[in-house]
């Protein structure tokens, strides 16, 4: 696993792959902007990262990490070398674990603003809540595991204002997503049925159609190799087969149910 590091002078750089000796780190959850906006692995290696608008999110994550006393953090746009198919496959199958092991997950909501919001005299809800409820972040496939995997998930408006966390906003998140409150509180996902977990992703979208299935691997605790070009249907069928095979293995004689 490769991380970003922010040193005492505020300089951000990529680390080498830590292997199994991974330091404590934080992690960013966000929705991608246009391709030319996000900072890639190549941008960081080539030294052109600060020229892109997406660098603001990297700086935001670095600043939040430092507030928690940590130097290391992970951002999906630039910590994966997407020209390396082996690395991409490993990242897809490890993503849930990476989010789960993060000290804190910072959700950056680029379409939620606090500035200019006015409190309605007829509502006790915060003025930004209507925008929060329709945020694009809740419609994307990959963000489902980014919501469920980490213990600590904090939500921020685009100006960096903290809106709340997964605990304080659990009722709103439940109403937006249909995910059981107990799942949001951290109950093991195996306690929820296969079809219920698929329903959590039913209305979510991914840019590449196969990613609809690949983004659910950690939700079901299975691994399959990504095959881009196979289409969503085949990817989902392979995912369901992996789920069935895993259940058979778990329930085999001599195994605990």
Q: Give one DSSP letter per residue of 52-107, joined into a string.
A: STTHHHHHHHHHHHHHTT--EEE-HHHHS-TT-HHHHHHHHHHHHHHHHH-S-EEE
pLDDT tens digits, residue range 63-103? 999 999 999 999 999 999 999 999 999 999 999 999 999 99
Q: What integer best gives the mean pLDDT of the chain?
A: 93
Indicate the domain borders of the chain. Answer: 4-184, 188-257
Q: Determine how β-strand 105-109 pairs with β-strand 25-29.
A: parallel
pLDDT tens digits, residue range 161-174? 999 999 999 999 99
Determine the pLDDT at residue 252: 62
What is the 8-class DSSP label of residue 164? E
- Please report which confidence band the pLDDT of residue 20 belongs to, taking 50, 70 and 90 as the band edges: confident
The tokens of 219 are what? Answer: 């939700």
First vs last C-alpha separation in the chain: 33
* Residue 190 CB-density burial (10 A; 0-12 exposed, 13-18 middle, 19+ buried): exposed
The pLDDT of residue 133 is above 60:
yes
- Residue 239: CB atoms within 10 A of its CB come to 20
What is the C-alpha separation between 43 and 68, in angstroms, rounded?
27
List CB contacts of 118: < 8 A, sequence separation 6 or more: 127
């Amino acid at each position: 696993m490769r991380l970003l590091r922010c040193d005492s002078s505020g300089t951000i750089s990529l680390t080498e792959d830590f292997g199994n000796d991974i330091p404590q780190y934080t992690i960013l959850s966000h929705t991608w902007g246009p391709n030319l906006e996000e900072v890639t692995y190549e941008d960081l290696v080539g030294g052109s990262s600060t020229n892109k608008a997406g660098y603001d999110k990297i700086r935001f994550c670095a600043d939040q990490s430092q507030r928690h006393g940590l130097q290391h953090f992970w951002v999906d746009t630039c910590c994966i070398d997407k020209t390396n198919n082996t690395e991409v496959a490993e990242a897809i199958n490890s993503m849930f674990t990476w989010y789960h092991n993060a000290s804190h997950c910072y959700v950056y909501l680029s379409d939620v603003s606090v500035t200019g919001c006015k409190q309605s005299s007829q509502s006790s809800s915060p003025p930004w809540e209507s925008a929060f409820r329709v945020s694009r972040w809740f419609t994307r496939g990959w963000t489902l595991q980014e919501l469920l995997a980490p213990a600590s998930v904090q939500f921020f408006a685009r100006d960096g204002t903290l809106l709340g966390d997964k605990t304080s906003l659990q009722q709103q998140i439940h109403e937006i997503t249909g995910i059981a409150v107990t799942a949001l509180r951290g109950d093991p996902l195996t306690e929820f049925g296969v079809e219920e977990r698929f329903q959590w992703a039913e209305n979510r979208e991914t840019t590449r159609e196969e990613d609809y299935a690949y983004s659910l691997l950690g939700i079901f605790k299975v691994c399959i190799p990504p095959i881009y070009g196979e289409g969503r249907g085949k990817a989902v069928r392979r995912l369901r087969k992996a789920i069935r095979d895993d259940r058979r293995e778990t329930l085999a004689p001599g195994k605990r149910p």
